[in-house]
Amino acid sequence: MAVEILINNYIYVDSICEAVNQLQKALSKISNTYRLREKILIVPSFSQGHQITESIVKNGISYINLRIKPLTSLAHEFVDLDLAKESLTFISETSVLIIIEDLFNQIRERDDSYFHNMEPKEGMVNALAETIRELR
C-alpha cells in the first residue's frame, strides 16, 4: 500500500512503517529548523495526532509549538470570527443527528421514497450524517 506525505513536495513510500519514519524525520527537521515558530500538524483526528506525537517523543524527537489540528477544527477556526459577526453558531452534533433522523423519517413516510420500505436500523442516522459531512 503506497502512502503519501506532503512535506515540501510529495514523498512516496511503500509501507506504513516507512511513512511513519519519514513523518518523524520531517517533523524533527521542521521542529529543529523552526523551533520557536508555531507549527500545525493537520491530522484526520485528534486521537491520530496524539498517537503521532507519542510516537515521535518515544523515538527521542522533541517538538515545540506543534499544534495538532484535525482539518475540521482548522476550518472552524477560519470561519468562527465571520460566524460571530453574523451572529451564527454551529449546531451541536446531537442536534445534527436529531435533524437527520427527523428528515429520514419524513422521507420514509413518502410512498415514492427509496427509503419507504426500509426499517430504520441502528447506525443508519450516523451513516447518513457521516455521508453529509463528507459531501460538505
What's the predicted TM-score (pTM) here? 0.53
Report domain extents, the chain: 3-71, 93-135
User: What does the pLDDT average to over 25-35?
Assistant: 84
CA 9 – CA 133 distance, rounded (Å): 28
pLDDT at 136: 62
pLDDT (tens digit per residue) in 93-129: 888 889 988 988 898 888 888 888 887 777 888 888 8
Q: What is the pLDDT of residue 70?
A: 86
- d(Cα 67, Cα 70) in Å, to the nearest integer? 10
Query: Residue range 71-78: average pLDDT?
Result: 81
Beta bridge partners of 12: 4
Exposed e or buried b per residue across 3-20, where buried means at least 16 C-beta atoms within 10 angstroms of its C-beta: bebeeeeebebeeeeebb
